[in-house]
Amino acid sequence: MYVLYPMHAVAEDEKTHNKKLDKQDNNAFLAKLQQFDCCTLRCLLNVNPQAALKRFQEMKALIPSKSNLCFLGINDASMHATEFKYGTPKAYLTTKYKFEGVPICQKAWYTIYDIQKRQ
């Protein structure tokens, strides 16, 4: 025999389930920040974990096309400035990774923004 549940009860169950999943994601992210060895300098230990968690949540809330635009903007802003050498401008296409003004390595930056190499 089937039992019919009111639609609001199903919606409430889904909301509480999503809240639990978000809390687990946040706890896993904070644990990853403290345990992940990004490089010999251990850049992630110099990062404020609550600020990194907030950025993680903001990026997770964006749809993929908006997050791609955000990453392009962040990368564009972190490119080297043009330098003059022998009277001709030189543009360096390397990125200095920073989080809230703190220099970090590429692996740490990828961890904070939850990016895999293929993205």
- Return d(Cα 83, Cα 80) in angstroms, integer: 9
Count of beta carbons in the 10 Å neighbourhood of residue 26: 14
Per-residue pLDDT tens over the stretch 53-81:
998 888 888 777 777 777 666 665 555 55
Per-residue pLDDT tens over the stretch 85-95:
676 766 666 67
Name the one residue in this structure whose structure tokens are 């809330």. Answer: 61
Per-residue pLDDT tens over the stretch 12-25:
777 787 788 888 98
For residues 119 and 51, is the Cβ–Cβ distance under 8 A? no
SS (H, E, C) 35-85: HCCCCCCCHHHHCCHHHHHHHHHHHHHCCHHHHHHHHHHHHHHCECCCEEE
Per-residue pLDDT tens over the stretch 20-56:
888 898 899 888 888 888 888 888 888 888 998 998 8
Would you state the pLDDT for residue 1?
47
Would you state the pLDDT for residue 80?
57
What's the predicted TM-score (pTM) here?
Answer: 0.66
